[in-house]
């Protein structure tokens, strides 16, 4: 069983969904955590829940807009001040944008999705990788999506940014693998997070369970994934045991992306 004793991991988008699930998984394995999110209230709730479940966990919280490079540099610096090193980085924060046809997509919102989903990942890599390179060790997991390995209608900005995250991951893996810094990405499908629940509400505001059940029937496993299932993959990719998996974009979708 992998352990994270004395290992420090930064998680962006840590207040809920995939970020919080990863924080719970890593806390159970003894990691020191730097939890980063834009939503201060939700971040405090996440911190409180983690301390109840894992009272021995060492953690800090940093409220930050990850689309602002200065804010990214600040959360990196605060992590170093608290724990003196960064062993793992879960580059997770992101937004969906809107469900709109490509030619009708609001350009200001398109740029916002780029800022949060893509530039934030680059800023994180820009400020974390040199520290890991100096240590001679690091594990990075960027969050793409199945939208980063295939097209989805009415999600042009999301699909474009997630494809770009997959590309950044491959470049980082090639450039810094020799320095002991291993970089991979995950590509979750429909996972029961607040973001996906919002998608189901958008499809059927009166009964979001209807599209949820329909989506499950389209999956080879006939169900929607759970955040904790993604967290277990993330924990492996952030661990010392992940020593020869590098530059991969790993689908976590029950096999659905293989069908079309």
Catalytic residue among 75, 105, 158, 190: 158
Question: Has 137 been annotated as catalytic?
Answer: no
Specify which residues 138 forms β-bridges with.
181
Which residues touch 103 (CB under 8 Å, ≥6 apart)? none
Task: Report in angstroms the alpha-carbon separations of 184 from 56, 81, 85, 166, 256.
Answer: 29, 26, 20, 9, 20
* 136 touches 89 (CB < 8 A): no
Name the residues annotated as catalytic. 158
């Amino acid at each position: 069983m992998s352990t994270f004793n004395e290992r420090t991991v930064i998680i962006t988008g840590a207040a809920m969904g995939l970020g919080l699930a990863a924080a719970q998984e890593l806390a159970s394995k003894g990691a020191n955590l730097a939890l980063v999110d834009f939503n201060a209230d939700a971040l405090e709730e996440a911190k409180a829940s983690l301390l109840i479940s894992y009272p021995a966990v060492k953690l800090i919280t940093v409220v930050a807009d990850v689309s602002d490079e200065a804010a990214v540099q600040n959360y990196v610096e605060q992590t170093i001040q608290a724990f003196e090193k960064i062993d793992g980085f879960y580059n997770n924060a992101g937004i969906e944008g809107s469900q709109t046809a490509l030619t009708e997509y609001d350009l200001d919102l398109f740029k916002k999705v780029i800022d949060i989903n893509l530039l934030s990942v680059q800023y994180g890599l820009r400020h974390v990788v040199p520290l890991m390179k100096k240590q001679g060790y690091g594990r990075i997991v960027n969050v793409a999506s199945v939208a980063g390995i295939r097209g989805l209608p009415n999600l042009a900005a999301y699909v474009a940014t997630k494809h770009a995250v997959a590309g950044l991951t491959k470049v980082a893996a090639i450039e810094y693998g020799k320095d002991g810094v291993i970089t991979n990405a995950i590509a979750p499908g429909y996972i029961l997070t607040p973001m996906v629940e919002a998608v189901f509400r958008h499809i059927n505001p009166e009964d979001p369970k209807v599209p949820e059940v329909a989506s499950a029937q389209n999956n080879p496993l006939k169900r929607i994934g759970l955040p904790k299932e993604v967290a277990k993959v993330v924990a492996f990719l952030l661990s010392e045991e992940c020593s020869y998996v590098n530059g991969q974009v790993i689908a976590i979708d029950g096999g659905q992306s293989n069908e079309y």
